[in-house]
Structure 1
Amino acid sequence: MPKPSPPTEDASWTSAGLGRREALKEWREWAASTIAPIEVTVFDADSFAARWVSHGVGQLRMLQLHAPAQRVVHTGREGSSGRAAPSIQLVYARRGAIKTLMGGKRFVVEPGQFVLLDNTRFYQMEMDTEHEALDLMMPQGWLERYLPDPEALLARAISASEGWGAPLGALLEAMIAGLDDAPLPRPLIAEQIGNLLGLATGFPDTGENTRHRGQLARQILRRIESDYAEPDLSPERVAEDCGISKRYLQTLLAGSGTSFVQELNATRLDRASDMLSDRRAAGLSVAEIAFRNGFLDAGYFARLFRKRFGITPREWRAGHAPQS
């Protein structure tokens, strides 16, 4: 069984000449170390015929897969890619439809379409007939240079034969036909893939996109400003309401030099300090003021308060607040 190849090397494998059990074992072993840990159910119990060809393309790995009718289930623990490197997969169907289940969504990737998957998450792909697909393994850090929020694009079929998807589909087909004869070095071809993927998915890295990111960051900060007193306000909840991933939310705020927790705690503490100085709130305990400003744990609130202002909430209420 060949070992996983470095990204710069090419390799290939075929089940020809192997018994069914041995072929399936080698197929699973290769997938576990290259794509993700998988469980394979072959619909024709008497035979298993498959082959793959692997090409390094810069930081990417392009896999050409030919396999019989089968069901493939990502069996790894959620959040883990097993022995394979964490990657976003571009799965492009060339022949045979791929029934897909991921993130609670069921959809079909028809020939001429592609889908983005995360190899650290559960997914299931079922092919009723012999099929051929291209699987492009892309490190997420590399991909984020071209797609600001890859996770927002997961689990939906996208055409590689229409609109801005057509140039990407043409490039993928050209790579399959003759990568060795390409007029550019492979790392430069990888850059072209990233740029065309941005166009195909509607996330080009343009000035307009930069403005959109700024608008989203401001929207998140306004949400914190208005809903800070809700104890269950979380980056996951705000990201879902904004239609983005938690990771992208964090990236947006990091670009503004802050974080969700930093902004939320600062807002809550500022509002709590105002209440502690307000005579109308003199009848409220420190714990009640903490609760009214989103803190469920009065001790945690007191520790954060002292860290931010240098004195305890009770000292602040007693009139020892620092004078500006």
Structure 2
Amino acid sequence: MGVPPSKDAESWTSAGLATGQAISQWREWAASTIAPIEVEVFDADSFSARWISHGIGQLRLLHLYAPAQRVTHTGTEGSAGRASPSIQLVYSRRGAMKTLMEGKSFTIEPGQFVLLDNRRFYQMEMRTEHEALDLMMPQPWLERHLPDPGALLGRPIDTREGWGRPLGALLETLMDGLDVAPLPRPLIAEQIGSLLALATGFEDTNTCTPHRGQLARRILRRIESDYADPALSPERVAEACGISKRYLQTLLAGSGTSFVQELNAMRLERASDLLADPRARSLPVADVAYRSGFLDPGYFTRLFRKRFGITPSEWRAGHPPQS
């Protein structure tokens, strides 16, 4: 069945449970954790399943051992049901996954992954026992690396060629090397995001163009690169892109966000990374705030608590974030 779960992982197995109880728990967990999906098990009499869940910064890595089954997104379009809204990276280690999404039919073979939106319809059918990784990524986090992830949904990508290779190697390593990783988990999440951008072929431009999608990506990239500048403003970014402040706000609003929202999110994520880095343990929290672009440490602490549910000092001490 693979390596045992690490000390901080959550896990579940059908072993020792009555068949009906095991299937019921499997379905309930999938609907509340992954998406509002309906699970149809093809051979209930021989049902056997297991999952292990790891937190990696804002990400959630699910390692699944599952029977032959069909899963169908049953929620309304645009709804993640009881699960958190996420973009899923579904990576097959063993067993093919025949997938239907937005009128497209394709198969994810072992060694391939695909991006899915857990708020949109999809159906996956696995005719044999299978093993997979399901990496749950909040869309605001992912858009720092892939500003338009919707354009990449439903496109199988091979981890045995091109830039998919290092991403595939990292995913494989995470399964048995997370506890001995040399970096804090939020920093590991950043490596995943960077490799995902390479593997999917995302291209950035050095100058803004009239295309709305490219402009929005350019704005987000500028926030990502200059977040530590306390003077960074929508006026400055708009000027750099050759557009008006009003048009910048319109572009971001069309993506369901705003300049202030994206800037604060970026600063808080970088601050959380710095607080978790053992190399910066002697750095006062106020200095962490300044280095992340916040001039007012009190304002930084209030935003941090609102975002993560705990103070910066509690985060540094290793307390888990609160929902």
Short-chain TM bin: 0.5 to 0.7
Q: CA deviation at 1:76?
A: 1.3
C-alpha change, 1:49 and 1:255, in structure 2 (3 Å) is farther
1:141 correspondence with 2:136: no
What residue in structure 1 maps to residue 248 of structure 2? 257
**What letter is aligned with 1:217?**
R
Q: Which runs of 5+ in 2 are unaligned?
A: 1-6, 216-242, 254-323
1:90 correspondence with 2:89: yes
1:80 correspondence with 2:79: yes
C-alpha change, 1:184 and 1:29, in structure 2 (3 Å) is same
Q: CA deviation at 1:10?
A: 2.2
**What letter is aligned with 1:257?**
L
TM-score for the superposition, normalised by structure 2: 0.64
TM-score for the superposition, normalised by structure 1: 0.64
Percent identity over the alignment is 69
**Post-superposition, which runs of at least 4 consecutive aligned residues in structure 1 deviate over 6 A?**
252-255
What residue in structure 1 maps to residue 12 of structure 2? 13
| Residues in 2 aligned to 1:219 and 1:138: alpha-carbon distance in whole angstroms | 22
1:116 correspondence with 2:115: yes
C-alpha change, 1:184 and 1:123, in structure 2 (3 Å) is same
| Residues in 2 aligned to 1:170 and 1:255: alpha-carbon distance in whole angstroms | 43
Residues 217, 253 of structure 1: 8 Å contact kept: no
SS of equivalent to 2:188: helix
**What letter is aligned with 2:40?**
T
For residues 131-175 of structure 1, the C-alpha deviation after alignment (integer angstroms, 9 at most, x for no partner) is 000000000000000001000000110111110010000000000
What residue in structure 1 maps to residue 308 of structure 2? none
What residue in structure 1 maps to residue 60 of structure 2? 61
Q: CA deviation at 1:20?
A: 1.5
Residues 73, 123 of structure 1: 8 Å contact kept: yes
**What letter is aligned with 2:74?**
T
| Residues in 1 aligned to 2:214 and 2:85: alpha-carbon distance in whole angstroms | 31
**What letter is aligned with 1:86?**
P
- Mean CA deviation greater in 71-80 or 39-48: 39-48
Equivalent residues in 2 for 1:229-268, closer than 5 Å: 256-259=247-250
Residues 59, 137 of structure 2: 8 Å contact kept: yes
C-alpha change, 1:218 and 1:190, in structure 2 (3 Å) is closer
What residue in structure 1 maps to residue 278 of structure 2? none
SS of equivalent to 1:72: strand
Residues 62, 135 of structure 1: 8 Å contact kept: yes
Q: CA deviation at 1:120?
A: 0.5
C-alpha change, 1:18 and 1:88, in structure 2 (3 Å) is same
Equivalent residues in 2 for 1:217-296, closer than 5 Å: 217=212, 256-259=247-250
| Residues in 2 aligned to 1:218 and 1:174: alpha-carbon distance in whole angstroms | 34
**What letter is aligned with 2:95?**
G
C-alpha change, 1:119 and 1:162, in structure 2 (3 Å) is same
| Residues in 1 aligned to 2:69 and 2:190: alpha-carbon distance in whole angstroms | 33
Q: CA deviation at 1:25?
A: 1.0
Equivalent residues in 2 for 1:4-43, closer than 5 Å: 10-43=9-42
Q: CA deviation at 1:178?
A: 1.9
| Residues in 2 aligned to 1:173 and 1:136: alpha-carbon distance in whole angstroms | 12
**Equivalences, count:** 222
What residue in structure 2 maps to residue 186 of structure 1? 185
Residues 163, 200 of structure 1: 8 Å contact kept: yes
**What letter is aligned with 1:214?**
T
Q: CA deviation at 1:48?
A: 1.2
1:126 correspondence with 2:121: no
Q: CA deviation at 1:45?
A: 3.2
Residues 28, 37 of structure 1: 8 Å contact kept: no
| Residues in 1 aligned to 2:244 and 2:26: alpha-carbon distance in whole angstroms | 42
Q: CA deviation at 1:183?
A: 1.2
**What letter is aligned with 1:52?**
W
SS of equivalent to 2:20: helix
Residues 36, 73 of structure 2: 8 Å contact kept: yes
| Residues in 2 aligned to 1:218 and 1:85: alpha-carbon distance in whole angstroms | 25
| Residues in 2 aligned to 1:219 and 1:19: alpha-carbon distance in whole angstroms | 54
Q: CA deviation at 1:254?
A: 8.0
Residues 93, 109 of structure 1: 8 Å contact kept: yes
Of residues 203, 207, 216, the one that matches 2:211 is 216
**What letter is aligned with 1:67?**
A
What residue in structure 2 maps to residue 155 of structure 1? 154
What residue in structure 1 maps to residue 174 of structure 2? 175
C-alpha change, 1:22 and 1:166, in structure 2 (3 Å) is same
Residues 77, 120 of structure 2: 8 Å contact kept: yes
C-alpha change, 1:9 and 1:59, in structure 2 (3 Å) is farther
| Residues in 2 aligned to 1:60 and 1:88: alpha-carbon distance in whole angstroms | 10
1:105 correspondence with 2:104: yes
Residues 19, 44 of structure 2: 8 Å contact kept: no
